[in-house]
Amino acid sequence: MTTEREQQFLELLKNEVKPALGCTEPIAVSLAVSKASEQIKQLGENITNVKVEVSANILKNGMGVGVPGTGMVGLHIAAALGVTCGRSEYKLEVLKDIDNSSLELAKKMVKEGNVTISLSPSSKKLYISAFAYSSNHEANVIIEDNHDNISEIYLDGKRIVQQEKSGCDSHDNHSNTNLKGILDYKLTLDSIYQFSLSVPFKEIEFILDSAKLNKALANEGLENNYGLRVGKTINNGNYSEVFGNGLLSYSMALTAAASDARMAGSTLPAMSNSGSGNQGITVTMPVIAFAEKLESSQESLARALVLSHLVAIHIKGYLGKLSALCGCVIASTGAACGIVYLKNGNFEQMGCAIKNMIGNITGMVCDGAKVGCALKVASGVSSAVQSAMLAMDGICISENDGIIEKDIEKTIMNLGKIGSVGMEKTDQMILDIMVSK
């Protein structure tokens, strides 16, 4: 029987680790539009046009990323598909029923100017307000704080009672600190470590689904020419004299290939972490690569994945769902801990791996979701493997260096401050550059 504390960890994992089809920012727009459209369709009327207001970070991460099954990028087509094929009951897999007919109808909506995307005045990092219109009705759906958290529904100006909130209901504030939700779980590296090692295997066996989904996406990227083909190039035997054929290159290739496929519009879902498919990929694939090469048991893989997922969730709690800091920094830090576990490392070595990571790639900016994210993912994985191996040899960056402190929790909090408060102006500058191109 699991303890109350173990149940809290399991609840957090199930809230923050879930399937997502496509990049979660445009998909969240599809979800909001789909839910709004359904309010009118149930009255027997057709949708004539939609209007969507999004926060700056949703706009940044939705501008240049592929939408699954379309060969197109951006929020306009994502919103239109929410009308033509979206089903809100699928949550972050809202577009899994897409077909040629619904795609052509969506393209027609966009071409005729019936989809409008604009910047919301909301100070929230993650905010979407979608309006759907027919000849006689108007529906409005709001998503905030989490990508699938539908917080408000209105039909013809009248609020509909809504109880579909999902995730941890984080309630981001302007500075994105003190998030209600993840921080309320009072996570520490020590508590994560103890839980991951002691919880009954049968209680965490579900986490192996993340290995299954993301490995399929990696294989898709290795076998086909998606995006920049980062993973496929690293895996190319013709470049073995450059990349080698060891665990480092294999980890980088698998992870980057999954990102290649996902960001270029593959119709396969990813198992996300903290609302990010790329983060879910980066949390899992290096750990899976090591487990394969080390011939680890399914139980060992599951415990390593739990460690990796929870460390990423813990760090993300100080950053919020969206920030100017690239999510692969957080996700690959979690992966480094999973790798240390598979190499029979201890708690102190995991702390060293985290410090090595934070001392290395902190400051990698997020300049929107796009096919180029696979390059950043590969860099994060390279750093994760390096940091883990140094930690296994007892090598740890000193607390005299930069933002590193002796206490691992203070070090994690410092990273959160840098990524949320410290990089606010950076985030705005990136968005200004992107929208003026």
Query: What is the DSSP-derived secondary structure letter of residue 82?
Result: H
Of the three residues 101, 125, 160, the one that is the final residue of a domain is 160
Q: Is the pTM of this model over 0.85?
A: yes
Which neighbouring-strand residues pair with 131?
51, 140
Compute the distance between CA of residue 376 and CA of residue 96 in angstroms, rounded to an integer: 27
**Does some domain include residue 17?**
no
Contacts of 322 (CB under 8 A, 6+ apart): 55, 57, 58, 61, 125, 126, 366
Of the candidates 334, 328, 239, 342, which has an alpha carbon nearest to the alpha carbon of residue 289? 342
Which neighbouring-strand residues pair with 290?
none
**Does some domain include residue 182?**
no
Tell me, what's the pLDDT at 162? Answer: 58
Looking up residue 320, the CATH number of its domain turns out to be 1.10.4100
Residue 71's Cβ-count burial label (10 Å; 0-12, 13-18, 19+) is exposed
Clarify whether residues 253 and 313 are in a common domain. yes
**Does some domain include residue 293?**
yes
Q: What is the pLDDT along the chain (437 residues), one digit of tens a residue?
A: 789 999 999 999 999 999 988 888 999 999 999 999 999 999 999 999 999 999 988 998 888 888 988 989 899 999 999 999 999 999 999 999 999 999 999 999 999 999 999 999 998 889 999 999 999 999 999 999 889 899 999 999 999 875 444 444 433 333 333 334 788 899 999 999 999 999 999 999 999 999 999 999 999 999 999 999 999 999 987 788 888 889 999 999 999 999 999 988 888 999 999 888 999 999 999 999 999 999 999 999 999 999 999 999 999 989 876 778 888 889 999 999 999 999 999 999 999 999 999 999 888 998 888 889 999 999 999 999 999 999 999 999 999 999 999 999 999 999 999 988 888 888 888 888 887 87
Clarify whether residues 103 and 230 are in a common domain. no
Clarify whether residues 301 and 240 are in a common domain. yes
* Contact by Cβ (8 Å): 248, 288: no
Of the three residues 141, 160, 179, the one that is the final residue of a domain is 160
* Contact by Cβ (8 Å): 65, 370: yes
Clarify whether residues 334 and 276 are in a common domain. yes
Clarify whether residues 285 and 376 are in a common domain. yes
SS3 65: coil
- How many domains does the chain contain in total? 2
* Contact by Cβ (8 Å): 284, 270: no
Strands (E), 156-308: 158-160, 270-271
Clarify whether residues 108 and 45 are in a common domain. yes
Tell me, what's the pLDDT at 182? Answer: 82
Full residue range of the structural domain in which residue 70 is found? 22-160
Clarify whether residues 369 and 231 are in a common domain. yes
Which neighbouring-strand residues pair with 118?
53
Compute the distance between CA of residue 326 and CA of residue 376 in angstroms, rounded to an integer: 8
Looking up residue 108, the CATH number of its domain turns out to be 3.30.1330
Determine how many CB atoms are found less than 10 A away from the CB of residue 36: 33
Strands (E), 277-431: none
Clarify whether residues 369 and 252 are in a common domain. yes
**Does some domain include residue 260?**
yes
Tell me, what's the pLDDT at 169? Answer: 41
Of the three residues 121, 145, 160, the one that is the final residue of a domain is 160
Query: What is the DSSP-derived secondary structure letter of residue 237?
Result: G
Clarify whether residues 233 and 353 are in a common domain. yes
φ and ψ at residue 43, rounded to 5 degrees:
-90, 0
* Contact by Cβ (8 Å): 398, 332: no
